[in-house]
Amino acid sequence: MSHANAVLTPITRLRLAKLVVDEGWTLTAAAKMYLTTPRTAKKWAKRYRAEGAAGMVDRSSRPHRSPTRTPTRLVRAIVSLRLRHRMGPVQIGGRLGVPASTVHAVLVRCRLNRLARIDRVTGEPLRRYEHDHPGSLLHVDVTKFGNIPDGGGWRFTGRATGVRNRATTLTRANAGDRPRPTRRRVGMAYLHTVIDDHSRVAYAEVCADEKAATAVGVLRRAVAWYADHGVTVERVLSDNGAAYLSHAWADACAELGITPKRTRPYRPQTNGKIERFHRTLADGWAYARFYSTETERRNALPGWLHFYNHHRPHTATGGQPPITRLTNLPGHHS
């Protein structure tokens, strides 16, 4: 394919061919005029006679026939093993009796050479999506973290000290209630999370449970919080948890003018953006450093959320903080 500084661009080829065909120049003289070879001049003159000016454009260099090309049936077998069993080129080549280099070439051509492009659960190629403006879709979910006992949890203090701190905290919490503390009374932190599909701007609250009334309250406060940032919520996507299947949730969405949507059962990848946010939340806040009490960790959440939204670079937003995508909303400057 010709480039901007090429000697023989389509226009120059046409001029060269016209010198030979229309004006009777010799191939050698015409080739010398345009700093090319007589063989090249002959090629363009021949195309000009056969096709006219249309023959001067670039053509694909792909051959008309490829006798040694990998058969379609073998390509399908390679792709099938890659998707179903996540095998590498060496394993696939050994099973099918073909060189690993051939398998790798097929996987590159089919864009399956990296396992990161294949869904870990279904084995299907990943299909990514992103809504075109903030508020078009909110992802909501609940994640759970075990409460930190007084003195610190086992991740930082070690297993033995962590178990001792947990038992001491349970004894204090159960004093006058039950003589023997139970695991159920350790307590869980139910973190209700909301994230905007387009901008990745996140909102989160720590609650005592994951009941419908709690989820509805979080949704109302989240919608108001996004409205303060100039975002009008249109849809909300959740999993099939009891809170999101309730009449209270449907009524709240109708009242707020939001269309509720749910993921396919047993398919959390549809809500993958918030699932990935939960991992970031765990690494950046929940287990990022030593907390001596659960209160200390919960007090650190607002500051971390501000850092995530306003300062932390996000790969999905071109290395910029999520809040940068809220600076040019529809009607923002009108």
Give 226-260 pLDDT, tens digit per residue: 999 999 999 999 999 999 999 999 999 999 999 99
Alpha-carbon 145 to chain mean position: 25
**Residues 136-147: what's their mean pLDDT?**
91
CATH no. for residue 278? 3.30.420.10
Q: pTM for this structure?
A: 0.62
Question: Do 16 and 100 have their domain in common?
Answer: no
Give the structural domain span for 314. 138-147+187-326
Q: Which two tokens stand for residue 222?
A: 């989240």
Question: Do 214 and 252 have their domain in common?
Answer: yes
**Residues 132-158: what's their mean pLDDT?**
84
Q: Is residue 274 part of a domain?
A: yes
Query: Looking at per-residue confidence, does 157 or 92 come out higher?
Result: 92
**Residues 38-55: what's their mean pLDDT?**
92
Question: Do 204 and 322 have their domain in common?
Answer: yes
**Confidence check: pLDDT of 1 > 70:** no
Q: Is residue 44 part of a domain?
A: yes
The chain-wide mean pLDDT, for the chain, equals 85
Q: Which amino acid is at 119?
A: D
What's the number of CA atoms in the CB half-sphere (13 Å) around residue 39?
0
Q: Is residue 313 part of a domain?
A: yes
Question: Do 211 and 292 have their domain in common?
Answer: yes
**Confidence check: pLDDT of 110 > 80:** yes
Q: Is residue 207 part of a domain?
A: yes
**Residues 261-288: what's their mean pLDDT?**
87
Q: Is residue 301 part of a domain?
A: yes
Q: Which two tokens stand for residue 252?
A: 């709240």
State the pLDDT at residue 171.
67
Q: Give tens-digit pLDDT for 198-224.
A: 999 999 999 989 999 999 999 999 999
| Bridge partners, residue 259, by sequence | 235
**Confidence check: pLDDT of 333 > 50:** no
Q: For residue 309, what pLDDT band results from cuts at 50, 70 and 90?
A: very high
Q: For residue 87, what pLDDT band results from cuts at 50, 70 and 90?
A: confident
State the pLDDT at residue 182.
41
Q: For residue 188, what pLDDT band results from cuts at 50, 70 and 90?
A: confident
Question: Do 22 and 110 have their domain in common?
Answer: no
Determine what percent of the chain is predicted with pLDDT higher than 90: 54
Q: State the total domains in the chain.
A: 3
Is the separation of the CB atoms in 309 and 323 below 8 Å?
A: yes
Pairing of strands 202-207, 235-238: unpaired
Question: Do 83 and 51 have their domain in common?
Answer: no
Element (H, E) at 296: helix 294-310
State the pLDDT at residue 267.
74
Cβ–Cβ contacts within 10 Å for residue 307, how many? 13
**Confidence check: pLDDT of 139 > 80:** yes
Question: Do 231 and 285 have their domain in common?
Answer: yes
